[in-house]
């Protein structure tokens, strides 16, 4: 169970000129990553496996082989290491996890899947063991997005200022807890959306059922909650006669405002800028829809707008990351990065951060990613934390190594570095010098200098009322959706999405935009087509996901409201990319045909039935 109580919600409702209410449902959603679960395991003995050496030797299997090595797709190498050690019955030091280049995760590969199975088999059989799930096996065995049942009320005064929000939500965690408690704790913090609401009471439960287990999935319950909250905001706008964009702009949380947990956002709260960035396109699309609909006909056009916020990192929990950079006698510079890249580009971004902090180009680096024998624990790739948390650790590691180099050269902080084989050049005016690394004392792996960095976000435990600092920073976004609805068939075509995201600083703008494109695709699927029915849709023929033909034109505005706590001002965008899309599409459907949908996906038969019910009510 999770909860948040701020202010006095009954009083807040009494203060309102309008109160709206709704009940909302979402179902199971499959991760549908391109690469199914796969991996192999070998029982072996490593001669050298010291963390950070970058070296490893093996011998052929024999009776002294007392280690198990697993190479597999994963989002959390150290968590896999812990689980394999527990299942096989050996210390963690006897387990090595080597992450593969991961063909997508979205949270589904945060749950340990094939790793303990192949590890136990290889350990007992004393032979290499491999496994590759078929698509049906993957869909039948993996966790899903938590289905939800949400009841919410929201009030606003006559001018449109929100006065109260309350929500109760049940999240179906299936036969096992998995990440149900995480969802139950995260949703109450986010349920009001990124708005100023003085009186809040939110309560959630992760409920066991005799159904497939639900688990981590991009957003940890926040996309479900956003559908409820943003729909109620549209209700209030309609009831009070206020423009849907304007009511959000009026209530948008800003610098210096207090969140429902009592946290004051001192910096990097860029929702107002996001809304301002989409305003002109929102107005133009609204005018276009008005002109189109005035002609009548079978196709109705609509526009929706929705906002979101998302805390980067674990909710009110320590989630540190450690990084290491080594410099060898031969001039080899190695970035030992324990953060698994599941397709979001963290390996590139973290390398950029480390290189900038050190003052050497990325082309000078070799790197090792995720290998538990060679890298330090960077934490799980989840909760939109790697750019922010591991980015800070990477920056600190680069700065640490730079400080050691400058001290060795007796150079000032503005010195410039370059590497030419084993020659390290430190340029600092008259104090410039060249260091022959091959002449320096080295450890057994040939390392002459190393830098390490560790970072853990400054959060606090929430009190019994849910008050405190659950996250060090938040991502913000506003999205606008334009759709065409076929009145006869009940089909929806998303024509255009405008997405403005406050990312703190875009370390790599291309990768940032890629994350937003991918999030929009998943949000569109959540809104319109993705519905996992156990035993019935366990393949990509019966389970529909968006294709290139379903994707709309997308325009992106990157808002850089710098986060002082982040590496070079950056924060996460992985999950924020998804959250606002579905509610914006639902708002656009409502604008087009006047139907308020409260269950997703909005499949054609559901929308058609809702439109028929609306017609009957109008006739009566």
Residues near 536 by Cβ (< 8 Å), separated by ≥ 6?
A: 542
Strand 199-208, strand 38-44: pairing: unpaired
Distance CA 192, CA 200 (A): 8
What burial class does residue 90 get, using C-beta atoms within 10 Å of its C-beta: 0-12 exposed, 13-18 middle, 19+ buried? middle
The DSSP letter of residue 212 is: P
Distance CA 62, CA 48 (A): 17
Give backbone dihedrals phi and psi of 404, rounded to 5 degrees, phi first.
-70, -40
Give the C-alpha distances (Å, rounded to integers) separating 520 from 109, 124, 304, 417: 20, 45, 14, 41
What burial class does residue 287 get, using C-beta atoms within 10 Å of its C-beta: 0-12 exposed, 13-18 middle, 19+ buried? exposed
Which position among 30, 560, 575, 609 bears the catalytic label?
575
Distance CA 98, CA 80 (A): 10
Distance CA 191, CA 182 (A): 14
Distance CA 266, CA 285 (A): 34
* Whether residue 399 lies in the annotated active site: no
CB contact at 8 A, 368 and 54 = yes
3-state secondary structure of 28: coil
Which residues on adjacent β-strands are paired with residue 154?
20, 165
Whether omega before 601 lies within 30 degrees of 0, making that bond cis, reads yes
Which strand (E) or helix (H) includes residue 21?
strand 18-26
CB contact at 8 A, 235 and 22 = yes
CB contact at 8 A, 526 and 224 = no
Of 311, 259, 310, the closest CA to residue 466 belongs to 259
- Tokens at residue 267, please? 């910096």
CB contact at 8 A, 259 and 253 = yes
Backbone CA torsion sign across 158, 222, 306, 382:
positive
Segments in 54-114 forming alpha helices (H):
77-88
CB contact at 8 A, 401 and 450 = yes
Residues labelled catalytic: 575
């Amino acid at each position: 169970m999770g909860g948040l109580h701020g202010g006095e919600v009954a009083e807040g409702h009494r203060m309102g000129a309008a109160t709206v209410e709704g009940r909302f449902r979402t179902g199971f959603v499959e991760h549908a990553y391109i690469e199914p679960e796969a991996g192999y395991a070998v029982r072996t003995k490593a001669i050298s496996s010291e963390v950070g050496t970058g070296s490893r030797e093996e011998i052929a299997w024999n009776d002294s082989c007392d280690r198990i090595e697993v190479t597999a797709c994963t989002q959390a190498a150290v968590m896999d290491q812990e689980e394999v050690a527990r299942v096989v019955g050996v210390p963690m030091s006897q387990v090595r996890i080597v992450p593969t280049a991961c063909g997508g995760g979205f949270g589904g590969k945060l749950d340990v899947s094939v790793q303990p199975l192949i590890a136990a088999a290889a350990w007992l059989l004393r032979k290499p063991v491999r496994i590759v799930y078929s698509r049906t096996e993957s869909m039948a065995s993996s966790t899903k997005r938590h289905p939800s049942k949400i009841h919410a009320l929201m009030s606003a005064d006559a001018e449109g200022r929100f006065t109260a929000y309350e929500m109760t939500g049940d999240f179906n965690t299936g036969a096992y807890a998995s990440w149900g408690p995480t969802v139950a704790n995260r949703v109450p913090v986010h349920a009001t959306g990124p708005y100023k609401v003085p009186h809040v009471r939110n309560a959630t439960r992760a409920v066991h059922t005799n159904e497939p287990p639900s688990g981590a999935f991009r957003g940890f319950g926040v996309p479900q909650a956003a559908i409820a909250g943003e729909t109620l905001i549209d209700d209030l706008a309609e009831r009070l006669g206020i423009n849907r964009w304007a009511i959000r702009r009026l209530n948008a949380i800003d610098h210096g405002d207090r969140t429902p947990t009592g946290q004051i956002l001192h910096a990097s709260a860029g929702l107002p800028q996001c809304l301002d960035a989409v305003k002109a396109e929102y107005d133009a699309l609204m005018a276009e829809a008005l002109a189109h609909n005035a002609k009548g006909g079978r196709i109705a056009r609509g526009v929706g707008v929705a906002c979101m916020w998302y805390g980067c990192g674990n909710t009110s929990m320590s989630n540190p990351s450690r990084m290491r950079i080594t410099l060898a006698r031969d001039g080899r510079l190695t970035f030992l990065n324990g953060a698994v890249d599941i397709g979001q580009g963290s390996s590139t971004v973290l390398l950029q951060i480390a290189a900038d902090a050190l003052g050497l180009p990325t082309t000078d680096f070799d790197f090792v990613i995720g290998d538990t024998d060679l890298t330090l624990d960077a934490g799980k790739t989840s909760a939109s934390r790697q750019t922010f948390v591991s980015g800070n650790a990477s920056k600190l590691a680069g700065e640490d190594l730079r400080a050691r180099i400058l001290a060795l050269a007796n150079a000032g902080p503005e010195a410039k570095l370059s590497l030419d084989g084993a020659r390290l050049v430190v340029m600092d005016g008259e104090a410039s010098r060249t260091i022959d690394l091959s002449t320096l004392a080295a450890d057994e792996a040939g390392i002459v200098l190393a830098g390490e960095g560790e970072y853990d976000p400054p959060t606090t435990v929430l009190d019994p009322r849910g008050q405190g600092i659950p996250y060090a920073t938040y991502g913000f976004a506003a999205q606008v959706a334009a759709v065409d609805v076929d009145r006869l068939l009940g089909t929806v075509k998303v024509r255009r999405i405008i997405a403005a995201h406050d990312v703190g600083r875009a370390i790599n703008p291309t990768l940032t935009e890629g994350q937003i494109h991918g999030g929009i695709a998943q949000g569109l699927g959540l809104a319109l087509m993705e519905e996992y029915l156990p035993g019935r849709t366990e393949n990509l023929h019966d389970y529909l996901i968006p294709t290139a033909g379903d994707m709309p034109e997308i325009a992106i505005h990157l808002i850089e409201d710098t986060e002082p706590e982040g590496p070079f001002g950056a924060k996460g965008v992985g999950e924020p990319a998804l959250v606002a899309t579905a509610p914006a599409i639902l708002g656009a459907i409502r604008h087009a045909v006047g139907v308020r949908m409260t269950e997703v996906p909005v499949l054609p038969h559901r929308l058609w039935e809702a439109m028929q019910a609306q017609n009957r009510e109008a006739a009566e």
